[in-house]
Structure 1
Amino acid sequence: MGTAERREASEDGAAAGGTALRDPVAPEDDSPNRQVRTERAASAGGSADRGGRAAAGAGADSTARQARVAYRPLWVEEPAKRRRMPDPVRTAAVRAVLVIAVTLIQAMVAFLCTLAGSWLAFPMVISSVVSTVLATWGALDVWVTRQVWNQRNGVVSTPSSTARALRREQRRARRQERTAQRAQERIHRQSGAGQLSHP
């Protein structure tokens, strides 16, 4: 087989394949889907004005459907893995973080000024030393504040804990309240037993 014959055979095959892909011959079926397709094709052949209005309505429906499908919340709230820190402890922690950040910035500026031979190096070194003392105090303040809060409000099973005394007082107050409620109920029951029923 020559080159020209091979080219003609490949062109014939491509043309046949192309027509086969473009115009598939579907088997005859009387399914409801075919009837729906036929009715849709018939209704599409109607007037251009009616088709334009239907297209606009379908476009509005599809836009509303897309808006409904596309809506998602920006974030999903999850339960916290750890309990929220008490407010005094959080305040001390924020203060300590700010002081430590300023100290680190001052130390870096002092180092760079020393490398550059600037006159600002000596004041920055002095201020960074002072800031280091303040940062240490801030970190200790967080620890002390947390211990004090736990001692007053937390569950600390030590003999010197004031949380025990507070709980004891709360239990005593609840017990007295329950006793008073029971006494009131008993008085109501006794006074209700002696009355005659009204018609």
Structure 2
Amino acid sequence: MSRNRLAAVALAVAGVLFLLYPALRPWADESTAAGALHAMGSPWWVATHLFAMIGFILVPLALFRVDKVAAVIMWIGAGLTLPYYGAEDFALNTLAGKVKDGQSLDLLDLSDSIRYHPAAVATFFVGLLLLGVGAVWAAVAVWRGGVLPKLSGLLFGAGFALFIPQFFTGEAVRIGHGVLMLAGCAWLAFALWRTPDPA
């Protein structure tokens, strides 16, 4: 299989994973103890956050076929983003499991301590910001490059640029953002699939 087609497969898989992340994530009012316990204690919490993490790994690898600068920016962004996702995924699920087992823990206080730790929030924000910058850089490279269809990077760039704002919305908008991520990755993947590798 050609390198462009391998990159296309990686992007397509990432797009599906970015859709499954919000679509299958357990939704509840996480500002309440019962809601947090329901969401964070679910095995789907772990699975769906893993989906996003795998997507963040696949996208920079695929972008080496589009633009190396964009790939490096997104690689750094993913590296800064993944520790936060790991803590939220595994630590919060473990804490919820302990609360379900009857251990006396204040799940809301502990989860806020993990989620809003200054270093965690800072690296998460910078990482997502770099992912957005890298995706927009890739979209501009596609537009200017003349190899892939000009518009094929547009939704891809928009999806990553909106990654931070979508966290401040509700379930429907976040699932809609997952659809945008799938559409952006799939469109760019389709363009790569149809483009032969350079000689």
Structure with higher Rg: it is 1
Which structure has more helix as a fraction of its residues? 2
* TM-score (normalizing by structure 1): 0.30
* TM-score (normalizing by structure 2): 0.30
Asked which structure has the greater RCO (Cα within 8 Å, sep 6+), the reply is 2
